[in-house]
Structure 1
Amino acid sequence: MREPKRHQAPTRREPGAYEVRHARPEDVRGARSVMLDTFYREFDYGYVPEWHSDVVDIRGTYLDDPRHTLVVAVRDGEVVGTCAVHSRGPAHPPHPLRLAERYPSGRTAQLLRVYVRPAHRRHGLARAMVREACAFAAGVPGYESIYLHTNVDIPGAEAFWRSLATEVCDARASGEHGGFGTVHFEIPMPSLVP
């Protein structure tokens, strides 16, 4: 299997400038901190082992698997944002069966863990990380679609994803997924430029 290309950013950066790039081993601790802080401070449910096992093993899940990646936003050596690509499609349950069938594991690049620390928002970091993650997915043999789901009860989440993606299922309207504000989206697979 061909190794997907992970873009390498220049090594010199202006102090205070943001860098969006694929995570390195030294980024794991900072990325985990961003994720856990988001679970506890913004989602109000904390760490849930059956939902967040990738957060415990970021290196094994995202850095060591050639079909997965973790994109990070870094400023002055601190990880301030994350965006992951995983080859797992939506699970049924809790998600609707039709989505699990439409986005099967192995052929689906699922975006997840798209988080930016509050003090670093409004700088285009989430958009830049998603763009880099989608470019990565386009270079991985076997991926046919880019899928994600989000809780639109989180301020700004729905507007952000609607600016980048197409809704494929509003689970709020159907009463599926236990009443959470879950909406499912697809992002068009970018074309690879030779």
Structure 2
Amino acid sequence: MNHPPKPPYTVRPAGPADVEGARRVMLDTFYRDFGYGYVPAWHRDVVEIGSTYLDDPRHLLLVAVHGDRVVATTGIRSTGPAHPPHPRWLAERYPPGTTAQLVRVYVSPEHRRHGLARTLVERACAFVAGTPGYDSIYLHTNVDVEGAEAFWRGMAKEIFDARTTGEHGPGVGTVHFEIPLP
């Protein structure tokens, strides 16, 4: 079901002019919402947005723009969960190349509750459905972030609750999900 965002937002694939704004939304989320900041091992794509998302036809970065400002992001990469820190069985279930990993579903706080995240995710899933070679849509989230768990449980199927394993360290409640291909 398509839920268009309320005006005055524009949701579209990111272009070179959106890179700095998208990076700002992502970094703000790491520091403000996650509380641990930029982690090079986890966030290399944020520094390399162009080569990661814009230069690969099987990858996508979507942005929501308000006026001339990027206020939300969502990405698709043809990668699965890496082992480590994730369990080997999970990495084997969602291999790189055939797995569309949904990443960077972030909305600036003052723009939340306008349907942006849902719209971005729906459009990302439509992109995956129209891109040959993908077998599944995988994501993981930190359910310690307010609203994250309820949001994903409304859109995806839980695969593994890693809160007991502490795979990302203290204060990061990781839960893995799959979204059925449209």
Superposed displacement of residue 139, structure 1: 1.2
Within 5 Å, give how 1:145-184 maps onto structure 2: 145-173=136-164, 175-177=165-167, 178=169, 180-184=172-176
Structure 2 unaligned runs (5+)? 1-6
Tell whether the 8 Å contact from 1:95 to 1:176 is kept in structure 2 after alignment: no
The Cα offsets for residues 34-57 of structure 1, whole Å up to 9 and x where unpaired, read as 001111111111111111110111
> Is 1:97–2:97 an aligned residue pair?
no
> Is 1:33–2:33 an aligned residue pair?
no
Aligned partners of 2:140 and 2:173: how far apart in 1? 10
Equivalent pairs, count: 175
Aligned partners of 1:42 and 1:184: how far apart in 2? 19
Aligned partners of 1:142 and 1:122: how far apart in 2? 33
Would you identify which runs of 4 or more consecutive aligned residues in structure 1 move more than 3 Å?
none
TM-score by length of structure 2 reads 0.93
**In angstroms, what is the RMSD of aligned CA positions?**
1.3
Q: Equivalent of 1:45, from 36, 39, 56?
A: 36
- Which residue pairs with 1:20 in the alignment? 11
Aligned partners of 1:164 and 1:73: how far apart in 2? 19
Within 5 Å, give how 1:119-138 maps onto structure 2: 119-138=110-129
